[in-house]
């Protein structure tokens, strides 16, 4: 039932109230997370949680500003209606490297051109730390899609995968399969084993296509977690692994042959 005696709020008043509630929500969340995590003496986790909330708040403010030009931020790992055929190579530093990649693999595809990702570098010092870190990352990687798959649309249509980006990424270097492997890296835990089982294969397989030796094996390695022994870090790229949903009433599943 409508109370006719109650004044109807204008659109501006409703928007102001929404912003006021959002600000109150984020302020309360920040305070709550800070207290809970400080109680566990987890200062770094508290800072991370607050940082993420600030990022969300910033994204909402950005969307408010973008309304004036009928635009908004896309919370996706790939642009849903980008045409990768319009891609242009980076014309500045390292152009010869990008031209070599394009010559070998043809970079006018979603797996190359349609990239929105975050790289997280986790440091290690020596084989013992690397082995523990690499093993933990391998265990974690298959779980990421459950919370992070975010590219179900490519070429302006549903592509059949909740993470279409990684599905295209898995196949964009099929000419030389050793470069990507099965996305989840092999079970190797020392530099010597990594060199023998991964780097040596990559270097041998790329050689016929790269007579000028422009492509470094550290840079070529395209697994979901990349061991950068040249700077003592595991580079983890948010190339979220793929689930496929065949029918609406079925749960998504991991694709086969991810290597785990």
Domain count, the chain: 2
Q: pLDDT, tens digit, for every residue of 125-163?
A: 999 999 999 999 999 888 887 777 888 999 999 999 988
DSSP line for 15-75:
HHHHHHHHHHHHHHHHHHHHHHHHHTT-HHHHHHHHHHHHHHHHHHHHHHHHGGGT-----
Are 45 and 145 in the same domain? no
Are 104 and 41 in the same domain? no
Are 95 and 167 in the same domain? yes
Check: CB of residue 188 under 8 Å from CB of residue 229.
Answer: no
Check residue 100 and give its pLDDT: 95
Check residue 43 and give its pLDDT: 62
Question: Region 109-122: what's the mean pLDDT?
Answer: 82
Are 30 and 111 in the same domain? no
Are 114 and 233 in the same domain? yes
- Residue-number span of the structural domain to which 177 is assigned: 84-237
Are 44 and 159 in the same domain? no
What sign results for the dihedral spanned by CA atoms 93, 86, 235, 238? positive
Are 60 and 132 in the same domain? no
Are 164 and 208 in the same domain? yes
Are 146 and 62 in the same domain? no
The residue whose two tokens read 């590219």 is 151
Residue 253 domain flag: no
Question: Region 90-114: what's the mean pLDDT?
Answer: 91
Check residue 98 and give its pLDDT: 92
Average pLDDT in the chain? 79
Q: pLDDT, tens digit, for every residue of 210-223?
A: 999 999 999 899 99
């Amino acid at each position: 039932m409508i109370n006719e005696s109650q004044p109807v709020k204008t659109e501006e008043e409703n928007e102001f109230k929404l912003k006021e509630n959002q600000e109150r929500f984020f302020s309360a969340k920040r305070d709550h997370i800070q207290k809970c995590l400080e109680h566990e003496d987890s200062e770094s986790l508290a800072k991370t949680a607050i940082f993420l909330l600030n990022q969300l708040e910033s994204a909402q403010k950005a969307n408010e500003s973008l309304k004036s030009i009928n635009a908004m931020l896309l919370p996706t790992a790939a642009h849903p209606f980008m045409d990768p055929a319009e891609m242009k190579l980076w014309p500045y530093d390292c152009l010869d490297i990008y031209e070599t990649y394009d010559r070998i693999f043809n970079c006018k595809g979603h797996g190359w051109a349609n990239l929105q990702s975050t790289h997280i570098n986790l440091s290690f010092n020596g084989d013992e730390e690397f082995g523990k870190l690499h093993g933990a990352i391998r265990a974690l990687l298959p779980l990421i899609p459950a919370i992070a798959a975010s590219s179900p649309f490519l070429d302006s249509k549903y592509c059949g995968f909740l993470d279409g980006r990684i599905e295209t990424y898995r196949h964009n270097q099929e000419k030389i399969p050793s470069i990507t492997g099965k996305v989840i890296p092999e079970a190797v835990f020392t530099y010597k084993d990594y060199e023998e089982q991964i780097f040596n294969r990559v270097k041998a397989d790329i050689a016929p296509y790269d007579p000028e030796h422009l492509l470094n094996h550290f840079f070529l390695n395209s697994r979901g977690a990349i061991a950068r022994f040249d700077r003592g870090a595991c580079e983890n790229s948010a190339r979220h692994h793929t689930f496929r949903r065949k029918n609406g009433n079925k749960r998504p599943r991991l694709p086969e042959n991810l290597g785990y």
